[in-house]
Structure 1
Amino acid sequence: MDREQHVHTIDTPKARIQAPAFACDSHIHIYDRRFAASPGNGAHIVDRATVEDYRRVQERTGTQRTVIVTPRPYGTDNCVTVDAIRQLGIDNARGVAVLRPDVSDTELDMLDRGGIRGIRFTLYTPHQAVVTFDMVEPLARRIAELGWHVQLHWTADQIVEHEALLTRLPCKMVFDHLARLPPPVGTSHPAYGVVRRLAASGRVWVKLSGAYLDSQVGLAGGYADLAETTRAWAALLPQRTVWGSDWPHVTETHKPDTAAIFDLLGTWVEDEAARKRILVDNPAELYGFAR
């Protein structure tokens, strides 16, 4: 059993670096068996990933704010995310929903009042996705007037392939998980150039999260092969990068320790003022938290 499952024990270590006041974990997922999984998408609800479980994680990282992203088992049913925002309190929590173009204006208004501030397109494995690329632009145009953003979990190659689409989007766009730049290519991948060009619009953000998704050295190597990419994004977008733990790390057979993931930010962004921007100021701007 991994350390994350021993959160009740008093000897479980906390993060070594101190989180500033109002630090935000900008990417987690909540799974709660009170909410049924959507049939037919092949994904399953995991255990030990409720709001109460996450509160214990916060005690170890020191983060106070969070952004909950609806996970794949729930399809386009975002009730679990809205409920988690309610439990954590809308002053300290926001959400990112999964929607299709047939969503009603009434539902959009309800989600907005419930703390949703963006919609996610997880398309790195299209055959498993509940949305498609042709849904991105029409939905982006509908949510732009709400001030929401689109969150894109795409491969680096998909970012390059769809540059023209991205250029047309009228709203903010957030690239998940370091924009999935694969090592050892890293910032030499053409996707880095695409995102850098789009960044001139002032509407592009990158999440410093999910290093294990592309790392070749893995947990044992401290994901060191993603350090250069992380530093590059933080330098390119000092006011438009946010950090996320990706808890509860459902993609990983051997779960990383979330406090250790938080400590990685201290090695990647050594300047304390820069870390405060990434953890406090930038997410306040993106998600609408109080300054």
Structure 2
Amino acid sequence: MTETAFIPSPGNPGPHPRPSKPSLVLPPGATDAHCHVFGPADRYPYAPDRAFTPVDAPHEEVADRQRFLGFQRAVIVQSSGYRSDHRLLLDALAADPASRRGVAILRADTGAAEIRRLDAAGVRGARLHFVNHLGPDPQPEHTRRIVHKLADVGWHAEIHVQDDGIVRHAALIGDIPAPVVIDHMARMDLREGLDGPPARALMSLLDRGNVWVKLSGVDRLSRTGPPYADAVALAASLVCRFPERVLWGTDYPHVNITGAAPDDGLLVDLIAQMAPTEAARERLLVRNPAELFGFER
């Protein structure tokens, strides 16, 4: 593959070059529960049928940014840009196995031996995309086969939806025989309001007790721009109502976005508005991810 094949595509500007230093001091063991790693592309080439080409963000760079922000642990989510080629994810996990966990992308035909290999490396879940910009939704039969594999190994299913997707796929999500994590607060359209159909569908799923939600991507949801007050209000309501099943992530390095990447330091400082007490932040950033991803307490 030629070097020109790895020119970043529109919507992938790369991370903020000079993020602010957060004023919020994070608790010991704070976990960035949603980040990605990319490249270097000449060593870890992207899938030929990928929907986008990101800026390289090697795992060493991602770890440096997390330390700057105050995080000691991380969950690295496999990108669709690599499909189910997990070489980079496995190398990133191996660089710090005590402090990193992973989320994979499985095929319907992924075998038990490969799942055991991923599990031994620190993978604890698999992601399913139901968003148009990353390709067609998985076939129902493929989804069924994948989620049953997760249940067998004790992993969670990570569900990526947007707009009214949480409404359209609520029945499927409710039937998954494994813990479920909803990415980016379901990327709902906030014009529907905090009591609109998407918000009600998300709340109803969280009421089930086996569904979690990531309070990441406020910049993706917000209709108002920085400091993303509308999306932060949604996150704060989720922390208040479901303190035991919320997680937080940087979403670094912010791929497939509109405009410039957000200031990661600002995103961290907004945690204080979502979880206004030390106890709530310890639950959000330490205890909940330790429980779900299997970090040492």
Same fold (TM over 0.5): yes
8 Å CA contact 2:128, 2:158 repeated in 1: yes
Which amino acid counterpart does residue 62 of structure 1 have in structure 2? Answer: G
2:230 & 2:20 partners in 1: Cα distance? 25
Task: Give the counterpart of 1:144 among 144, 147, 151.
Answer: 151
**What are the superposed Cα offsets for residues 9-50 of structure 1, whole Å, 9 maximum, x if unpaired?**
xxx642110011000000000001211111122322422x11
Larger RCO of the pair (alpha carbons < 8 Å, separation 6+): 2
Residue 166 (structure 1) aligned with residue 173 (structure 2):
yes
Residue 163 of structure 1 deviates from its aligned partner by 2.2
- Residue 78 of structure 1 corresponds to 86
- TM-score, scaled to structure 2: 0.89
Which amino acid counterpart does residue 75 of structure 1 have in structure 2? Answer: R
- Residue 58 of structure 1 corresponds to 66
1:3 & 1:105 partners in 2: Cα distance? 36
**What are the superposed Cα offsets for residues 243-266 of structure 1, whole Å, 9 maximum, x if unpaired?**
000000122331112121111111
Could you list the runs of 5+ residues in structure 2 that have no partner in the other structure? 1-12
Task: Give the counterpart of 1:259 among 265, 290, 296.
Answer: 265
Residue 240 of structure 1 deviates from its aligned partner by 0.7
CA RMSD of aligned residues (A): 2.0
8 Å CA contact 2:14, 2:253 repeated in 1: no
**Equivalent residues in 2 for 1:177-256 (5 A)?**
177-218=184-225, 221-252=226-257, 253-256=259-262
- TM-score, scaled to structure 1: 0.90
Residue 290 of structure 1 deviates from its aligned partner by 0.7
2:178 & 2:137 partners in 1: Cα distance? 21
2:267 & 2:29 partners in 1: Cα distance? 18
1:27 & 1:128 partners in 2: Cα distance? 21
- With over 3 angstroms needed to count, the CA separation of the structure-2 counterparts of 1:76 and 1:271, relative to structure 1, is same
Residue 230 of structure 1 deviates from its aligned partner by 0.7
- Residue 285 of structure 2 corresponds to 279
- Between the two proteins, what is the percent identity of the paired residues? 34
Could you list the runs of 5+ residues in structure 1 that have no partner in the other structure? 7-11
Residue 129 of structure 1 deviates from its aligned partner by 4.8
Which amino acid counterpart does residue 110 of structure 2 have in structure 1? Answer: V
**Equivalent residues in 2 for 1:65-144 (5 A)?**
65-87=73-95, 89-125=96-132, 128-129=135-136, 131-144=138-151
Residue 79 of structure 1 deviates from its aligned partner by 1.6
Residue 194 of structure 1 deviates from its aligned partner by 2.5
1:156 & 1:58 partners in 2: Cα distance? 29
